[in-house]
Structure 1
Amino acid sequence: MNTKYIDLIDQTFDFPQEEFTLDTDNLRFHGIPLIELVEKYGSPLKFTYLPKISENINRAKNWFAEAIEKNGYKGKYYYCYCTKSSHFQHVMHEALKNDIHIETSSAFDINIIENLKEKGRLKNDAYIICNGFKREQYIENIARLINSGHRNCIPIIDNYEELDLLSEVIEDNFKVGIRIASEEEPKFEFYTSRLGIGYKNIVPFYENQIKENDKVELKMLHFFINTGIRDNAYYWNELAKCLKVYVRLKKICPSLDSLNIGGGFPVKNSLAFEFDYQYMIDEIINQINIACQEADVPVPHIFTEFGSFTVGESGGAIYEILYQKQQNDREKWNMIDSSFITTLPDTWAINKRFIMLPINRWHDEYERVLLGGLTCDSDDYYNSEQNMNAIYLPKFRRNKPLYIGFFNTGAYQETIGGYGGLQHCLIPQPKHILIDRDEHGDLVTTLFKPQQKAEQMLDILGYDTSGPKSISKKKLKERTIPVQG
């Protein structure tokens, strides 16, 4: 009988896959021997595989280049990374190796931009697309960036007051974009996005506030929908409405030359994942071409803002199964050595799916289980709702450690989880490892941040940690993990 875990995977999915392979009994991710990573650094463990960031950026650039050539498209393409997916320096540095542009969403993003410029990481002619609702600090920071000479900073107008607020603090002429408040999918609880200006109001807004304003130049129309870029009637219908607004604006606004189609490319969340990226890009370019030709207006330059797609597939988390609890005759709970709420918040907040696979023991017999976190919260679990299918893992054995990995977790999880701050039930933040390759292609690992300590949390909570330590002098027996390499 086919009772081993490897048999289950072989009969369910095409395996091995580009990023997932086996080394005898152990899983490799992009050639990374994960069990050696665990043996060297222990668990729980988070890691970022930096080369995957550059790989995805260049995949998208090549898809657009091919579509532009195929359709005889006359506009240019600009790849923007939206920083809210992951603000970490190592992510930004890796992304900026690839001649890209940046999209921001809040005031402190501008401080990051200024730091990157000062260090020579970001070019002076790079586009900075400033999205989001703009409060006073964000307005001031945008103005400071433009006033310092960064002419390709484009604030995207989100509401009717922002233009006046920006004009008051920006010293010279400046460019702006307008965000379309797209209609939401029928299943949403509201009809129209809270962000941007409604379809019917955009042309009147231009005519009333921008057209006769010598200080402001409308450069861009910004289109984004919450569901992202998907091949369904809803997406194509919203894109068609956006293009109608673009061609109307273009006929009365010669300076308008760019269309930002936002982001939302899906990230692989299952071994059965399928998405035809090239087809979607081909069809988007084709639809823009057709709409502009029919209206007899020049096609726009295309901007995209890929966040999760840029960084999502670079991240992973590794946990050890500490214990198994049989709570009734049907449910076995495998308890991990961390918390889903704190380390993978999207799994419980929005039932987001990530690829979950064991790191070792692939040739052992398997069983159906549920996964539980360490907190005393009933929502701290991961089950078939998030995983799409029932969860099967090699059978729990007290004398045979089992490690599991969650993959493509690189977007949003750290910032939503409050990286470096307080965690639910004071579960510490795991250590974080950066993985890169040297000039010979060999793997290089670096400890980015150690596991969070009690003193750090007590300091945040306001406790005085400067006095004598209130712990027993009795030394607890420690479990050590061998180090390789």
Structure 2
Amino acid sequence: MNTKYIDLINQTFDFPQEEFALKNKTLEFHGINLMELVEQYGAPLKFTYLPQISNNIQRAKNWFAKAIENNNYAGKYNYCYCTKSSHFKHVLNEALKNDIHIETSSAFDIDIVESLKAEGKITDDTFVISNGFKRAQYVTNIARLINNGHKNAIPIIDNYEEIDLLSEEINDTFKVGIRIASEEEPKFEFYTSRLGIGYKNIVPFYKEQIKDNKKVELKMLHFFINTGIRDNAYYWNELTKCLKVYTSLKKICPSLDSLNIGGGFPIKNSLAFEFDYEYMVDEIVNQIKLVCDEEGVDVPNIFTEFGSFTVGESGGAIYEVLYQKQQNDREKWNMINSSFITTLPDTWAINKRFVMLPVNRWQDSYERVLLGGLTCDSDDYYNSEQHMNAIYLPKYNKDKPLYIGFFNTGAYQETIGGFGGLQHCLIPSPKHLLIDRDEAGNLQTTLFSEQQKSEDLLKILGYAK
């Protein structure tokens, strides 16, 4: 009878996979021996595997290059990284190795851009696409960037007042984009995104505020879908409506030459994940060309803004199962030595799934369990009630430590969790490792941050200096 955990995985999924494999009976992730990490650094810990950032950027670039060639598409493709997914310097340094551009969402993002420019990581040729509702400081910082010579800075207009606000602080002419307020999926509590300007209002807005404004040049139409790029009727319908607006604008605005199809690609959230990226890219490029050809306008340069896709699959978290609590005849709670709310807040906030696998004991028999965090909050859990599939792990044995890993956690979790700050129930943030490869392909691991100490939290709270 097949009762080992490895048997369960082999019966359920195609395994091993590109990034996951077993070696010496323990789990490897992109060739990283995870048990060696645990033995050297302990658990809980988080890590970022930097090469995967470049890997995903290059994958997307290749898909678009192939689609542009296949469709005889005359426009160019530009890959933008959404800094809000992870603002860390090590992430930006890795991403910028790949000739990409930047998308910002708040005032302090511009300070990061200026720091990267000072270090030579980006140049005046790098596009800086500035989204979001622009408060005074954001407007000031964008204006400073443009006034200092960054002509490829393109603020995306989110409301009717931003043209005037930017004009007051920018000395010379400047380029802008307009964000479309897309209609949301039926499951949303509202019909139209709070961000951007409605489909029907964009052409009138252009005529009233931009067409005869000698200081402003419209270069980009920005299309964003909250749920990301998906092969469903909703996405294709919204893209079609966007293209109708683009072609209508292009006929009266010769300077318009770029379409930003914001909204990210999905990333792997289980061993059963399937998504035909290459097909989606080819079909998007094909649809843009078809509509533009039908309307007799030149095709736009295509911009994408990939945040989670860029950095998400580089991240991981490893915990130890401390104890098992049998709360009734059916529910066994495996308690981890950290908190889901604080270290993987999306599991709590939006019921997000990540790839979850044990690091060791794959040859042991398995059981169905629930996973609980250390806080005294009833929502600090990760289990089959929140997620489609039940959780099965090697059977708990107090004499045989069990370590579990959550993978593809590299986007948003640190910023939403408040990296370096207070954590719920004062659970400390775990240590964080950066993993890279040298020119010979050998792994290099460095400690980015230590686990928080009591004095760190007491200082924030005012109990210590």
CA distance in 1, matches of 2:387, 2:34: 21
8 Å Cα contact 1:354-1:387 kept in structure 2: no
Q: Which residue of the partner structure matches residue 33 of structure 1? A: 33
Percent identity reads 81
Amino acid at match of 2:376: C
CA distance in 1, matches of 2:110, 2:343: 27
CA distance in 2, matches of 1:125, 1:264: 24
8 Å Cα contact 1:219-1:256 kept in structure 2: yes
Within a 5 Å distance, the mapping from 1:262-301 to structure 2 comes to: 262-301=262-301
Question: Alpha carbons of 1:354 and 1:385: their partners in 2 closer, same or farther (altered >3 Å)?
Answer: farther
Q: Which residue of the partner structure matches residue 5 of structure 2? A: 5
Deviates more, 1:418-427 or 1:455-464: 455-464
Within a 5 Å distance, the mapping from 1:447-466 to structure 2 comes to: 447-465=447-465
Q: Which residue of the partner structure matches residue 158 of structure 1? A: 158
Within a 5 Å distance, the mapping from 1:211-230 to structure 2 comes to: 211-230=211-230
* Deviations 1:135-179, CA, capped at 9 Å, x for gaps: 000000000000000000000000000010000000000000000
CA distance in 1, matches of 2:318, 2:186: 38
CA distance in 1, matches of 2:187, 2:121: 42
Q: CA deviation at 1:264?
A: 1.6
Q: Which residue of the partner structure matches residue 199 of structure 2? A: 199
Within a 5 Å distance, the mapping from 1:52-67 to structure 2 comes to: 52-67=52-67
Amino acid at match of 2:427: I
Q: Does residue 360 of structure 1 match 2:360?
A: yes
8 Å Cα contact 1:243-1:288 kept in structure 2: yes
Amino acid at match of 2:273: F
CA distance in 2, matches of 1:98, 1:45: 28
Q: CA deviation at 1:6?
A: 0.1
Q: CA deviation at 1:385?
A: 3.9
Q: CA deviation at 1:387?
A: 4.2
Q: Which residue of the partner structure matches residue 49 of structure 1? A: 49
Q: Which residue of the partner structure matches residue 373 of structure 2? A: 373
CA distance in 2, matches of 1:149, 1:376: 53
Q: What secondary structure does 2:217 align onto? A: strand
Amino acid at match of 2:207: E
Q: What secondary structure does 1:384 align onto? A: coil
Q: Which residue of the partner structure matches residue 176 of structure 2? A: 176
8 Å Cα contact 1:353-1:388 kept in structure 2: no
Q: CA deviation at 1:263?
A: 2.5
* Deviations 1:35-80, CA, capped at 9 Å, x for gaps: 0000000000000000000000000000000000000000000000
* Deviations 1:285-321, CA, capped at 9 Å, x for gaps: 0100010000000000000000000000000000000
CA distance in 1, matches of 2:176, 2:313: 32
Q: CA deviation at 1:128?
A: 0.1
Q: Which residue of the partner structure matches residue 251 of structure 1? A: 251
CA distance in 2, matches of 1:462, 1:169: 39
Q: What secondary structure does 1:111 align onto? A: helix
Amino acid at match of 1:265: F
CA distance in 2, matches of 1:335, 1:247: 56
Q: Which residue of the partner structure matches residue 476 of structure 1? A: none
CA distance in 2, matches of 1:386, 1:284: 33
CA distance in 1, matches of 2:98, 2:14: 32
Within a 5 Å distance, the mapping from 1:396-407 to structure 2 comes to: 396-407=396-407
Q: CA deviation at 1:449?
A: 0.2
Q: Which residue of the partner structure matches residue 435 of structure 1? A: 435
Q: Which residue of the partner structure matches residue 148 of structure 1? A: 148
Unaligned stretches of 5+ residues in structure 1: 466-485
Q: What secondary structure does 1:195 align onto? A: coil
Aligned length: 465
Q: Which residue of the partner structure matches residue 134 of structure 2? A: 134
Q: Does residue 313 of structure 1 match 2:313?
A: yes
CA distance in 2, matches of 1:122, 1:316: 28
Q: Which residue of the partner structure matches residue 346 of structure 1? A: 346
Deviates more, 1:379-388 or 1:393-402: 379-388
CA distance in 2, matches of 1:241, 1:177: 17
Q: Which residue of the partner structure matches residue 478 of structure 1? A: none
Tell me the C-alpha RMSD between the 2 structures. 0.6
8 Å Cα contact 1:351-1:385 kept in structure 2: no
CA distance in 1, matches of 2:188, 2:418: 27
CA distance in 2, matches of 1:83, 1:386: 29
Amino acid at match of 1:353: R
CA distance in 1, matches of 2:117, 2:95: 14
Amino acid at match of 2:177: G
Q: What secondary structure does 1:56 align onto? A: helix
Q: CA deviation at 1:386?
A: 4.3
8 Å Cα contact 1:78-1:100 kept in structure 2: yes
Q: Which residue of the partner structure matches residue 100 of structure 1? A: 100
Q: CA deviation at 1:123?
A: 2.0
8 Å Cα contact 2:227-2:263 kept in structure 1: no
8 Å Cα contact 2:81-2:101 kept in structure 1: yes
CA distance in 2, matches of 1:151, 1:123: 10
Q: Which residue of the partner structure matches residue 19 of structure 1? A: 19
CA distance in 2, matches of 1:463, 1:79: 46
- TM-score normalized with structure 2 length: 0.99
CA distance in 2, matches of 1:387, 1:337: 21
